[in-house]
Amino acid sequence: MEKQNILRNIPKVDELLNHPALLALDLPAGNIRAAVREELETLRGQVLSGALDVLPDKASIAAAAGERAKREALPSLRPVINGTGVVLHTNLGRACLSRRAVEAVAAVAGGYSTLEYDVEQGCRGSRHGHIEELLTQATGAEAAMAVNNNAAAVLLILSAIGKGGEVAASRGEMVEIGGSFRIPDIMTQCGCALREVGTTNKTHLYDYENAIGPETKALLRVHTSNYRIVGFSERPALAELVELGHKHGLPVIEDLGSGSLADLNAFGIHDEPTVQQSVKAGVDLISFSGDKLLGGPQAGLILGKKAYIGQLKRHPLARAVRVDKMTIAALRETLYAYLDPARAREEIPVLSMLGEPPHMLHSKAALLCQRLMGQGCAARVVETESQVGGGSCPAQALPSWAVAVDPGKLTVDGLETALRRRERPIIGRISQGQYLLDVRTLWDEDFADIETAVKEVLQ
């Protein structure tokens, strides 16, 4: 009886919707109405279960509904602070674009553009034209094009070149990238038969040669970007494979995966081949990702001989995997930076993060640590290791510095959760019982947010 009385006093939806706290919200009406309904439903549930025997006043209910509406209005795709030290974190969006690339995207996104329009001639232009010359200039390749991602690039290449025949590939390179992208399965999908050659650890040139027959359409090389076979292992040099292919009139295709245009040796990364090396070796078609070591947008870049690239551009699948204007804008700026290697290292976040010297990272960590201590938090600067990520350079740990944040009255897991569930989530790493923020992947602008968040979470 008592409960029925309380329930009857719960305000009506429309009554609450007219409350100033909710009228002031700049959110879609449907969003607010749904939040009010849910808030009232929650109250009803609490009354029925006996958890609530005095109703909050109308202003408090309206305020709670407002908070709920704001929470629900947050897009699920939103910026985070990456304190993991993983530079190419696939779950956190891989490469961060350069400032110029971001501006270029914004410039074309909201209006009309020359996407497929030749302003000189006043007629239809080519979507590929915006980046082809930059790619060929940067790599020495004859021709180039971009598609939606590298998986699409491999799909297009194998469909155009291998369909109805056999493609020979080493057993040591049967790569799975994740998300069901596996070389053998992709081959099936493209209508070509995989001809496995060699063994897991050793594949010789003669293994390829013995496999070549009337059905053979191409030789495929796959960069084992996310694992390494070490020890008693061998595979032919790329140039040898190219020579063999050409002797038999067969194209050689290479899925380079990460595809770096920059020499990463200066960053202490020694086992990552460059795109230029593959072009120089004479590979007929090379593909790689735009958002891995290149440091650009999600894209698949394809380089190679003019005749083959032409064949790909005309293939029906090319339309299905084509890139949009925003991707092209970002790619153009990213590739443009590579015309000057020093500029690329400075402007492209992936390169500047990978190339940040340890003493600079130490100063950055010391600064963040000081700021957190200024908020009454116990923090320490600790040595750590960052990862390249994105399935690139798996054997390579980069010496780095992090701030270990003391969880205070929380547990380490509790601290991690609280920071992760914020409007702008902070993603850290727990290592050996410590909560770490690796400063390699933090922007200076993140510091203020981290400071506020840590203060609020620990108080």
Contacting positions for ligand PLP (CB under 6 A): 149-151, 154, 175, 177, 181, 222-223, 225, 255, 257-258, 289, 300, 391
Rg, the chain, Cα only = 28
Q: In whole angstroms, how close is the CB of 181 to ligand PLP at the nearest point?
A: 6
Nearer to ligand PLP, 154 or 250 (CB): 154
Rounded Cα distance between 383 and 337, Å, is: 32
CA nearest neighbour of 264 among 282, 281, 277: 277
Nearer to ligand PLP, 177 or 458 (CB): 177
Token pair belonging to 358: 């340890």
Rounded Cα distance between 89 and 80, Å, is: 12
Q: In whole angstroms, how close is the CB of 111 to ligand PLP at the nearest point?
A: 28
What φ, ψ does residue 397 adopt, rounded to 5°? -100, 140
Rounded Cα distance between 326 and 102, Å, is: 9
The answer to whether residues 317 and 151 touch, using CB atoms and an 8 Å cutoff, is no
Nearer to ligand PLP, 153 or 379 (CB): 153
Q: In whole angstroms, how close is the CB of 287 to ligand PLP at the nearest point?
A: 8
Q: In whole angstroms, how close is the CB of 270 to ligand PLP at the nearest point?
A: 18
Nearer to ligand PLP, 39 or 272 (CB): 272
Residue of minimal CB distance from ligand PLP?
A: 257
- The 392-405 sheet, strands edge to edge: 86-88, 379-389, 392-405, 434-438, 429-431
| Residue 425 neighbours by CB distance under 10 Å | 15
Nearer to ligand PLP, 379 or 393 (CB): 393
Q: In whole angstroms, how close is the CB of 326 to ligand PLP at the nearest point?
A: 16
Q: In whole angstroms, how close is the CB of 273 to ligand PLP at the nearest point?
A: 11
The answer to whether residues 308 and 161 touch, using CB atoms and an 8 Å cutoff, is yes
Rounded Cα distance between 369 and 347, Å, is: 26
Q: In whole angstroms, how close is the CB of 30 to ligand PLP at the nearest point?
A: 36
Nearer to ligand PLP, 98 or 149 (CB): 149
Nearer to ligand PLP, 217 or 292 (CB): 292
Q: Is 363 exposed, middle or buried (0-12, 13-18, 19+ CB in 10 A)?
A: middle
